[in-house]
Amino acid sequence: MHVPAVRAHSTKSRRTAPAWLTHVTRLRRAPVPRTAMVRGALGAGPLLGAGIAAGQPGPGVLAALGAMLAGVNDRPGTRRKGLVHIGLPAAAGSLGLLAGALVADATGRWAAVPVLFLVGWVSGALSARGAVWSAAALQMLVTTTIGMGMPLAGPAWLKALCFLAGAGWLVLLRLLLRTPRSPGATRWSGERETVAAVFDALADALRALGGPEAPAARRALVAAQQQADEALRLMRLLPWPRRSGGADDVLAARFGAGVALCEASIALLWEGRPVPDAVAAGPRRLASAVRSGGPAGALPSPRPDTVERLAFDRAVLEAAVVFDRTTAGAHPRQGPGHPRTAGRNSAVGPGLFTPAGREYGLRVALCVSVTAAVALLLHEDHWYWLPATAAFLVKPDMGPLFSRVVNRFAGTVAGVLAFVSLVSALGGLGAPLVVSAVVLAGALVPLSTRHFAFQTAVITVLVLSFVHTAGDTEAAASRLLETFLACVIVLLVGHLPLVADPRVRAGHRFAVTLRCTERYLRHVLDAPDPAGGRQRDDVRGLALRGAAYRALAEARAAAETVAVELPGPFGGRRHDWSAVTVAAELVVDAATACALRVENGVPRPSSGEAERVTTALSVLADALEDGHRTARPAPGPGPRDCRSLRDVMTQLHGIHRLTAEGLPGPSAPCRAPRS
């Protein structure tokens, strides 16, 4: 098998502008979320109108605010996924609003600075744990700021309850309003579609084998598998409503067959040989069978002339048996893909006290507390806008700081101009017009996620409408100036040496990837030989492999963000993190191939060789975790009697070269060592 050498990008870019500048105008493409837009229109606007009609504009504003922030998290996915991705941030937001209001009632206004520093540190550190935790941490920080600074009458508990009720209203709309379904689908059949998407992605990956699109297709396959695994785990955690006739078990068994096929396909990718087109047609049939609940029919497989192809042939045979057994409606035995087992021990994420957690926390805490201090010096009341703006800007996992600052200011300008133009054209805003503006802007919130400036403009119109309803009718001009100040402060503070080192941010993510890979390899190589070939029901192995690929996806995202960050005087040496990403992907793929080869009868490497490889993974992970010291080189070449582990060592040498030096020039490529 040919192992591609890890090289730094040495050719001159054809782009006329640097990446940190072109990222400002980058647009995220996605289908138009029509149903989510309907939910957005029915969310904040009616709640605000109800509050005004009842003579209680304050509670109406808080309920509309809860619905608006819930709408930002209303993303595509199953209903259960929506419950978690909307509900957890909403609960955190209500907690933050309660805490902020209690602090404001009990202390002076300058207590906001230390409080926001503490909450900002916790919020930034929690952001390192994943997207849902990041959204929850952001809402907690923003609502804490609003609770301390927005002058609304009423006890703290009532404010928090109104906010939570508004978010709960959008959750109810999420359950009631559904996207158009295919014939025969049920209201809660989103899980079936996510499992079918795994087989579709598998077909795409098989067609791409041996070509330049293979790595991207493999990433899409792993992402689809992770989404399906999350959906099935949530189906177990939120069992209502239950499917009839054991459909949950059938879906889990079919997903288990898909997991085995995905593992074998990654080994085929590692092998690097294309397969006939007929082989890729098999997973398409499986996807159709998942959607319809029927049989899969004949499933072709490649000629089993290598261990990797033999493993794939066995996985195809097992999938055919599973689909045939589950077509009749039988209750299959609990397998590795079952939601009661597949998710155990799979949640591996960084803690609050890791280097990345500390860096994230310090960055957010400093920016929010500094902007709060400046705002308190400028205003007696309504000071919350600056720290709330800083909270939206500085979250390190939400994109490069410079791009977010530019888009935040541009979006605020557009939103303020739209609001002022509306007021001027109509000679003022009465309650019906305010509610109408909120309904229209709420409908645009799901669509606005395509670009941060667009999203900022929509949210600015919403927030100005809320503030106008609360009694601050001259807020537009001052909000524009305060946004500019917040952008300048965040841009300066966010690039200080202690909080802006990309080696810590990206290096930590790759360190987590290597540690997860080390755990997976140790589990595979230390396990007893399975009787009769492939080891079945290896729940821990599946969880560890899934954790490695989840960590790899997070590392790739961190590397992409670092690549488009504004280069400042404090960044130190700039590593080629994109090349490190390629090498890390090859490491995890080779580890998966090693596990599959061992499970299919290939002799295990000696304990000494296996220990040397896992130790090399651990040593390099420790160095990347630190971020400020040079990694020791991996000790020697890989085992000669194990191709997959030899590939692991080859790529570890490449990662060491890429992170021990600065970005190599054309005369200093980072080459894979001979083995």
pLDDT of residue 638: 61
Question: What's this model's pTM, rounded to 2 decimal places?
Answer: 0.79
Contact, 43 vs 68, CB < 8 A?
A: yes
pLDDT of residue 606: 82
Contact, 139 vs 90, CB < 8 A?
A: yes
SS3 of residue 107 by DSSP: coil
In angstroms, rounded to a whole number, what is the distance separating the alpha carbons of residues 320 and 537? 18
Using the Cα atoms of residue 535, residue 541, residue 543 and residue 547 in order, give the sign of their dihedral: negative
pLDDT per residue over 353-384, tens digit each?
A: 666 677 778 888 999 999 999 999 887 677 88
pLDDT of residue 584: 92
Rounded mean pLDDT of the chain? Answer: 80
Helix, strand, coil share (%) of the chain residues, nearest 5: 70, 0, 30
Q: Give the C-alpha distances (Å, rounded to integers) separating 246 from 56, 295, 328, 332, 432.
A: 49, 16, 11, 9, 50
Using the Cα atoms of residue 306, residue 309, residue 315 and residue 319 in order, give the sign of their dihedral: negative
pLDDT of residue 69: 92
Those residues of the chain that have pLDDT short of 50 are: 1-13, 182-185, 244-245, 332-350, 531-536, 570-572, 662-675
pLDDT of residue 421: 87
In angstroms, rounded to a whole number, what is the distance separating the alpha carbons of residues 277 and 267? 18
In angstroms, rounded to a whole number, what is the distance separating the alpha carbons of residues 19 and 13? 10
Q: Dihedral through CA 18, CA 585, CA 129, CA 395, nearest 10? A: 0
pLDDT of residue 42: 93
In angstroms, rounded to a whole number, what is the distance separating the alpha carbons of residues 126 and 491? 22
Of 203, 178, 181, residue with least CA distance to 192: 181
Per-residue burial over 430-446, b = 16 or more CB atoms within 10 Å of its CB, e = otherwise: eeeebbbbbbebbbbbb
- Count of all residues that appear for the chain in the document: 675
pLDDT of residue 642: 78
Of 52, 40, 134, 135, residue with least CA distance to 462: 40
The H or E element spanning position 522 is helix 502-526
Of 306, 317, 190, residue with least CA distance to 257: 317
What DSSP assignment string belongs to 298-367? --------SHHHHHHHHHHHHHHHHHHHHHTT--PPP-TT-TTTTTTT------TTSHHHHHHHHHHHHH
pLDDT per residue over 619-628, tens digit each?
A: 888 888 765 5
pLDDT of residue 189: 66
In angstroms, rounded to a whole number, what is the distance separating the alpha carbons of residues 192 and 188? 9
Q: Which residue has the tokens 């904040």?
A: 44
pLDDT of residue 472: 72
Using the Cα atoms of residue 469, residue 472, residue 478 and residue 482 in order, give the sign of their dihedral: negative
In angstroms, rounded to a whole number, what is the distance separating the alpha carbons of residues 102 and 649? 56
Per-residue burial over 590-606, b = 16 or more CB atoms within 10 Å of its CB, e = otherwise: bbbbbbbbbbbebebbe
pLDDT of residue 629: 53
How many CB atoms are closer than 10 A to CB 297?
A: 13
In angstroms, rounded to a whole number, what is the distance separating the alpha carbons of residues 312 and 318? 10
H and E: helices and strands count for the chain: 24, 0
Of 340, 640, 644, 634, residue with least CA distance to 520: 644
Contact, 146 vs 103, CB < 8 A?
A: no
What are the structure tokens assigned to 275, written together?
A: 């397969």
Backbone angles phi, psi at 537, to 5 degrees: 55, 35
How many CB atoms are closer than 10 A to CB 237?
A: 12
